[in-house]
Amino acid sequence: MEQAHFPAIDLPVIASPDVCVVGAGPAGVAAALGAARVGLSVLLIERYGFCGGATVAGLSGSICGLYSSGSQPEQIVFGFAEEFRAALAARGGAGEAIPFGRTKLVPHDSLIWKETADDLLQAARVRMLYHTLLLDVTRADDGGVDAMLLRGMEGLFAVRPRVVVDASGDAEVVHRCGGDTTFGRQGVVQAATMVFRLGGVDMDQFFQLDPRRIDAMITEAHERGDYDLPRHHVYLFPMPSGRELLCNMTRITFPDGSVPSGIRSADMTHAEIAGRRQARAYAEFLKARVPGFSRAYMVDTGAQVGIRQTRSIVGKQQLTNDDVLRGRKRPGAVTHSAWPIEAHGAGELRIQYLDDDYYDIPFEALTPRAIPRLLVAGRCLSAEHEALASARVTAQCFGMGYAAGAACGLLCREPTAALNGPDVAAWMRQHRLRTSTEHD
Ligand SMILES: Cc1cc2nc3c(=O)[nH]c(=O)nc-3n(C[C@H](O)[C@H](O)[C@H](O)COP(=O)(O)OP(=O)(O)OC[C@H]3O[C@@H](n4cnc5c(N)ncnc54)[C@H](O)[C@@H]3O)c2cc1C
């Protein structure tokens, strides 16, 4: 390929915080707060103008992963996940938990999510830079990050933190450092979904509908060729206002059935355009065919197509498929999880419940190999393909972020410390931070 040369440049270093958190999704927000609450100075950078990541920009729309799975689901994840749920609920931004198969989830309002995150971060004196993109890093003699190259609205600048938390979802910092990452199962990742909001639905009629009936109607309409509706098991959640539905219905692939990559602009362009078209097709089908939807209208789609999986780091420990299926427990775990393996493949959606059991996410799955002073949090943790299809949901991302942020305090004290779960949990207790596994 033809090459263009850009000369090396010297840039102003605008901040030297204890911690720089990259990405303000659920993991990044929790990481920034965890670090601030152990007394560190924190810079949080985010490419969009709001927090929430896939939860808000992708309209994922609910907190999954708080509850056990089985005939009587109970809350098993607490700590920051519960703090954020309660803060949302106090503002009318989260409803009661509703059934999802053999577990439960908590629908939320995405505007109130943004406002809640802004307020918590400002109250903790986290310095935030929205509309700021991490472009690259330089590495110090110890192999950790020296300076971070950022692109803000005003141009290029640098920051020089002591510790970095990569909460980009895409393991962007680890990748820029040259750290090892994996990409799905032999390069195949889960399919993307364009989520959309629907207004004007007769909610009384909606609550009378059996979701399996909607799935059957979609299958029939697709097979008859009336509509192009490739996904037949769909999720429709009432939003906390009680007046709109969140519609997680689409499945975005290329015409040959392959899955667009969430880290390639050309693939994402296809996914955004195809996602909006497919969302419109599902909305038209609902309006035309399903009782209670005749006056329905599309309010909006997500600000971006929802990406479930890109790079995962190669960590000191990996969360394996077997760990999830056998309910492996770990001392000092970052969080419990009983969310099913919810694998959105290119051709099918497979959901496997962990009935009456749960597994633990180890802290060491947040620690990239051979890069000091760098932790990850959220969906780019070190995990096998199916394990990630369970561990990636919001409650677990909150737990990972909070622990990673708090652990930065240990790294600021001793940059070469080999951190482990029990030490991090003890450090959090020392600073009165609740881990996800603790409650009254
Ligand atoms: C379609 C869909 C539906 C889902 N439904 C649910 C659900 O109902 N309930 C649930 O709990 N979970 C759901 N999930 C999963 C959940 O939303 C995500 O796994 C979760 O948001 C991941 O959190 P994160 O913080 O790790 O990453 P993300 O939410 O992806 O956040 C990463 C952030 O980093 C920012 N960023 C990335 N690169 C850079 C960079 N270079 N510079 C600056 N900023 C950067 C991004 O803009 C983003 O804000 C769903 C996911 C999808 C895709």
The alpha carbon of 224 and the centre of ligand 1 are apart by a number of angstroms equal to 35
At 198, which helix (H) or strand (E)? Answer: strand 196-199
Ligand 1 neighbours by CB, cut-off 6 Å: 22-28, 45-48, 53-55, 58, 60-65, 133-134, 167-170, 172, 193, 195, 248, 306-308, 378-379, 392-394, 397
CA angle 43, 49, 52 (to 5 degrees): 80
Q: Tens digit of pLDDT for each residue in 30-84?
A: 999 999 999 999 999 999 999 999 999 999 999 999 999 999 999 999 999 999 9
- The residue to which tokens 């971070």 are assigned: 148
Fold (topology level) of 13-187+309-430: FAD/NAD(P)-binding domain (3.50.50)
Q: From atom 22 of ligand 1, which residue's Cα is the shortest distance away? A: 379
pLDDT tens digits for 260-275?
Answer: 999 999 999 999 999 9
- Rounded to two decimals, the pTM is 0.98
CA–CA dist 195, 347 (Å, integer): 18
Beta bridge pairs of residue 20:
43, 164
Probe residue for ligand 1, chosen from 60, 172, 436 as the CB with the greatest number of ligand atoms within 8 Å: 60
- Give Cα separations from 253 to 35, 247, 278, 362, 384 (angstroms): 39, 18, 11, 33, 22
Q: Convert the pLDDT of each residue in 98-109 to its tens digit.
A: 999 999 999 999
Residue (of 362, 376, 380, 367) closest to 422 by Cα position: 362
Spatial distance between the Cα atoms of 393 and 379, rounded to a whole number of angstroms: 8
Pairing status of strand 349-352 against strand 341-344: antiparallel
The full 3-state SS of 252-294, as one line of letters, equals ECCCCCCCCCCCCHHHHHHHHHHHHHHHHHHHHHHHHHCCCCC
Coil/strand/helix, residue 221: helix
Give the lowest-confidence range in 1-15, 77-91, 387-401.
1-15
**For 217-240, how does the pLDDT look when each residue is reduced to its tens digit (9 = 90+)?**
999 999 999 999 999 999 999 999
What's the pLDDT at 6? 86
User: Which pLDDT band holds residue 1 (cuts at 50, 70, 90)?
Assistant: confident
The string of DSSP codes covering 31-79 is HHHHHHHTT--EEEE-SSSSS-GGGTTT---EEESSB--SSS--B---H
Residue of 246, 393, 398, 402 to mutate, ligand 1, most atoms within 8 A of C-beta: 393
Which residues, 6 or more positions from 189, have their beta carbon under 8 angstroms from its beta carbon? 183, 259, 261, 262, 308, 309, 310
Place 438 in a pLDDT band, splitting at 50, 70 and 90: confident
Domains of the chain, residue spans: 13-187+309-430, 196-301
Cα separation, 130 vs 152, whole angstroms:
8
23 within 8 A of 167, measured Cβ to Cβ: yes
CA torsion sign, 422 to 426 to 431 to 437? positive
